[in-house]
Amino acid sequence: MTVSPASDPSGRVVAGRASYLVVHNTSEVVTPDATGMRVVRYPRGAVVFRDGRVLEIGPGAELLRRHGEARPINANGRLVTPGLVDCHTHMIFAGQRAGEFQRRIRGESYAAIAASGGGIRATVAATGAAREDALEKNLAARLERWRANGCTTVEIKSGYGLTPSAEIRMLELMRGAVQRVPLRVARTALLLHALPESHAGRRDAYVEEMAAVVLPELVRRDLAGAVDVFCDPVGFKVEECRVLLARAKALGLAIRVHAEQTKRFGGAKLAAEMGALSADHLECAKEEDWRALAEAGTVGVLLPVSALTLRERLPQAKMLRASGARVAIATDFNPGSAPAQSLLECGALVARLVGLDAEEILLALTWNPAKALGLEAQVGHLTPGASGDAIAWECETLEELPYWMPAVRADTVFVRGADLALPAVERRVWP
């Protein structure tokens, strides 16, 4: 995944004593361990950041005493966790499709709406008609909303361009937007999303064009760290996806798959077989698909708002646990299937609909999505050496995180060890 150096605020904004701080007087500090296998809790704990990274985590009174030189930040009895990681969004787009949502509520299927000129292609048209500076500004505003909601790492996919040059342009605009926002962004090129009209009946030519023109550009210009495909009857066939993903892998790019969304179609097994970082959606996956993901070390990503919006089912916790797979939760933010703007709210939904407990939800919002981005060495946990990305939440216990709806708000967001102010407008308008 590409992480923009320009999004690193530690060098620009923070200097001297401000880059050495101790967050203390917490109710508890809770984090996955470095392996992501278990959750560790430090009642009345503290966490020390230095030069953008976690220096130490442990008992509050002791750390405060030993780090007398650090700037103390009083958490006022709040819960502190790692910053959340949203590993699946389609955040760069124009317009909205609320009308389609109404059609679906009245019973039309996602596939029928797509076939009648709506769906992904409607957003491609709206995005193509938007001014580039508006797209970039809008994206930056969205990223600020994510930060206000407690996300410190966000993945963004291209995918509403559908031509080589338009997809590349989306990735460039992402790079521009990220420079305005102190957040870590991972860019993904979603290259097989929908077949444009121009290629009707020429599917193989489209796959070849994306592979031959876009993939080398991604590598040459460091535009994206991963490539994604929509493996679905509404999107692309397993064999088409395999061709593109194999070419991406050969160039050293990580791969990810939208799998088993509207139908069980073979995407999960393809992801496992090809060593994808993640297989996402999985509403129609079976237990054997989850077992294949577990064996391959591929993260299974649940997108609860997409499942709800398309009126599909989510898997149950018992089966997920038995499979041994790593489970992440993401917003899938997009105008068609998931107008979801709070990752923590998605966690609250999964707790209720899937049956994961508070510790499992925390893992699914931090370490596991970091692994889906190939970033688990740096983010998703507060172990020494990790990036100083943390949230002091407006609640006291871990169990409250998936409990309150609307979701608990972030009081303070630390990105690379810096507690930069949150956008005032978000503090006022967000629930």
Interface region with Fe ion, contact rule CB under 5 A, candidates 23-31, 174-182, 327-335, 355-363:
327-335
| Nearest residue to Fe ion on Cβ basis | 332
Determine, following the binding rule CB under 5 A, whether residue 289 of this chain makes contact with Fe ion.
no
Residues 121-140, interacting with ligand NIG (CB under 6 A): 123
In this structure, which amino acid lies at residue 96?
Answer: Q
Nearer to ligand NIG, 221 or 263 (CB): 263
Nearer CB in complex with ligand NIG: 261/298: 261
Under the binding rule (CB under 6 A), the answer on residue 332 touching ligand NIG is: yes
Q: Which residues contact 162 (CB under 8 A, 6 or more apart)?
A: 121, 124, 193, 194, 196
- The least distance separating ligand NIG from the CB of residue 261, rounded to whole angstroms, comes to 5
Q: Does 337 bind ligand NIG (CB under 6 A)?
A: yes
What character string, x for contact with ligand NIG (CB under 6 A) and - otherwise, covers 351-380?
------------------------------
Residue 272 or 338 with smaller CB distance to ligand NIG: 338
Nearer to Fe ion, 81 or 188 (CB): 188
Q: Which residues of 21-51 are buried (b: 16+ CB within 10 A; e: fewer)?
A: bbbbbbbbbbbbebebeebbebeebbbbbbe
Residue 315 partner contact from ligand NIG, Fe ion, none using kind-dependent CB cut-offs of 5 to 8 Å: none
- Residues 306, 323, 331, 412: which binds ligand NIG (CB under 6 A)? 306
CB atoms inside a 10 Å sphere around CB 179: 14
Q: Counting contacts by CB under 6 A, is residue 331 touching ligand NIG?
A: no
Residue nearest to ligand NIG according to CB distances in the complex: 336
Closest to ligand NIG by CB, 74 vs 96, is 96
Residue-wise over 383-401: b if at least 16 C-beta within 10 A, else e? beebbbbbbbbbbeebebb
Beta-ladder partners of 342: none
Instruction: Give the range of 28-36, 131-139, 334-342, 385-393 binding ligand NIG by CB under 6 A.
Output: 334-342
The mark string for 89-108 relative to ligand NIG (x by CB under 6 A, - otherwise) is -x------------------
- 18 or 308, CB closer to Fe ion? 308
Stretch that binds ligand NIG, among 17-25, 313-321, 333-341, 377-385 (CB under 6 A): 333-341
Residues 6+ apart with CB under 8 A from 428: none
- 119 near ligand NIG, rule: CB under 6 A: yes
Q: Which does 119 bind (CB under 5 to 8 A by kind): ligand NIG, Fe ion, none?
A: ligand NIG
Choose between 30 and 340: whose C-beta lies nearer to ligand NIG. 340
Told to check if 120 binds ligand NIG by CB under 6 A, we report yes
Q: Least CB distance from residue 405 to ligand NIG, whole Å?
A: 22
Q: Is 332 one of the binding residues for Fe ion (CB under 5 A)? A: yes
Give yes or no for a contact between 366 and 381, defined as CB atoms under 8 angstroms apart: yes
Whose Cβ is closer to ligand NIG: residue 26's or residue 337's? Answer: 337
186 binds, among Fe ion, ligand NIG, none (CB under 5 to 8 A by kind): none
State which residue, 120 or 350, has the beta carbon closest to ligand NIG: 120
Q: Which residues bind ligand NIG (CB under 6 A)?
A: 90, 119-120, 123, 230, 258, 261, 306, 332, 334-338
Q: Which residues bind Fe ion (CB under 5 A)?
A: 332
